[in-house]
């Protein structure tokens, strides 16, 4: 729900004390939350969409677009998690994937082919960090804010499972998979307009092989937010792909 006025302060002896606090005492639903009206969300969505299309690597604009346009997709994802034993467990415990929560030395020591080892290999090869994922600001529900935070923090695990790098071609393929999986308008927009910067040769490979595979995998796979990845580091990537229903990469 929306942020509500705080009534924690006692009323004054004249019966009016706290009126100013009632009018101005809005509290944050979660750290960093910024309440916005539907009009403000629409303006933010339009501006962030333009900037994200101009520069797909503006992750801050992509994040704002995801939050301001996910009003239908996020509750649907939350419900999928609530109705799945592992997803429900994630919603209850609220794990975070950050350098402060990862035992990188342990993950590096896992066997080749395991989820943890391949995830760390992906981070190091592509010089990315889970700490770059922006916290939500404009989602007016604390639980839904966690859902989009979780989606952001497992994005690199989607790259790992799909075997895709972080170049524009790899990002477009992952966005097609995520668009089918999540229904987030931000993913749909990235999937549709991301290819405009690709060369003719890459577009041909994308259209004939990679996009059809990403769509089939997205439709075939169970919800990727229902996996407690932190408890699966030792599982082979091939085994997890098979469990989820992700088809072998072309």
Among 238, 230, 243, which Cα is nearest to 107's? Answer: 230
**Alpha-carbon distance 202 to 111, whole Å?**
33
**Alpha-carbon distance 142 to 30, whole Å?**
6
What pLDDT shows up at residue 21? 35
Residue 17 has pLDDT above 60, yes or no: no
**Alpha-carbon distance 73 to 70, whole Å?**
5
All residues at 6 or more sequence positions from 12 whose CB lies less than 8 Å from its CB, including other chains: 18
Half-sphere exposure in the Cβ direction for 116 (13 Å, CA): 17
The structure tokens listed for 63 are 């994040």
Q: For 89-127, how does the pLDDT look when each residue is reduced to its tens digit (9 = 90+)?
A: 999 999 999 999 999 999 999 999 999 999 999 999 999
**How would residue 189 be classed by pLDDT, with cut points 50, 70 and 90?**
confident
CA distances, 58 to each of 53, 76, 115, 164, 167 (Å): 9, 26, 28, 20, 14
Cα–Cα–Cα angle for 147, 152, 154, rounded to 5 degrees: 95
Cα–Cα–Cα angle for 1, 70, 23, rounded to 5 degrees: 30
Residue with tokens 């989607």: 158
**How would residue 1 be classed by pLDDT, with cut points 50, 70 and 90?**
very low
Query: What is the mean predicted confidence (pLDDT) over 71-79?
Result: 95
Residue 24 has pLDDT above 60, yes or no: no
**How would residue 63 be classed by pLDDT, with cut points 50, 70 and 90?**
confident
What pLDDT shows up at residue 97? 97
Q: For a pLDDT cut of 90, what percent of the chain falls above it?
A: 67
Among 18, 77, 19, 4, which Cα is nearest to 224's? Answer: 77
Query: What is the rounded average pLDDT for all residues in the chain?
Result: 87
Residue with tokens 């490979």: 205
Among 183, 169, 193, 186, which Cα is nearest to 224's? Answer: 183
**Alpha-carbon distance 223 to 87, whole Å?**
9
**Alpha-carbon distance 171 to 194, whole Å?**
8
Residue 19 has pLDDT above 90, yes or no: no
Position with higher pLDDT, 86 vs 20? 86
DSSP 8-state secondary structure symbol assigned to residue 206: I
**Alpha-carbon distance 69 to 125, whole Å?**
32
CA 178 from chain centre, in angstroms, equals 9
What pLDDT shows up at residue 27? 67
Reduce the DSSP state of residue 129 to 3 states and report it.
Answer: coil
């Amino acid at each position: 729900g929306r942020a509500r006025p705080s009534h924690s302060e006692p009323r004054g002896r004249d019966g009016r004390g706290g009126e100013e606090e009632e009018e101005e005492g809005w509290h944050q639903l979660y750290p960093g939350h910024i309440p916005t009206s539907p009009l403000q969300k629409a303006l933010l969505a339009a501006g962030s969409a333009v900037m994200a299309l101009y520069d797909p690597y503006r992750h801050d604009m992509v994040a704002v677009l995801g939050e301001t346009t996910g009003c239908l997709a996020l509750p649907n994802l939350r419900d999928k998690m609530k109705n799945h034993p592992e997803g429900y467990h994630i919603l209850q415990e609220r794990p975070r994937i950050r350098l402060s929560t990862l035992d990188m030395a342990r993950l590096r020591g896992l066997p080749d082919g395991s989820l943890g080892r391949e995830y760390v290999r992906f981070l190091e090869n592509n010089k990315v960090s889970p700490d770059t994922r922006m916290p939500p600001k404009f989602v007016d529900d604390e639980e839904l804010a966690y859902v989009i935070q979780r989606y952001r923090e497992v994005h690199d695990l989607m790259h790992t499972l799909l075997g895709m790098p972080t170049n524009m071609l790899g990002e477009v393929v992952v966005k097609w998979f995520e668009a089918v999986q999540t229904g987030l308008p931000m993913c749909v927009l990235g999937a549709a307009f991301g290819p405009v910067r690709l060369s003719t040769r890459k577009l041909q490979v994308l259209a004939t092989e990679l996009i059809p595979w990403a769509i089939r995998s997205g439709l075939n796979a169970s919800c990727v937010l229902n996996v407690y990845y932190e408890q699966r580091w030792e599982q082979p990537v091939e085994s997890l792909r098979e469990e989820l229903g992700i088809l072998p990469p072309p």
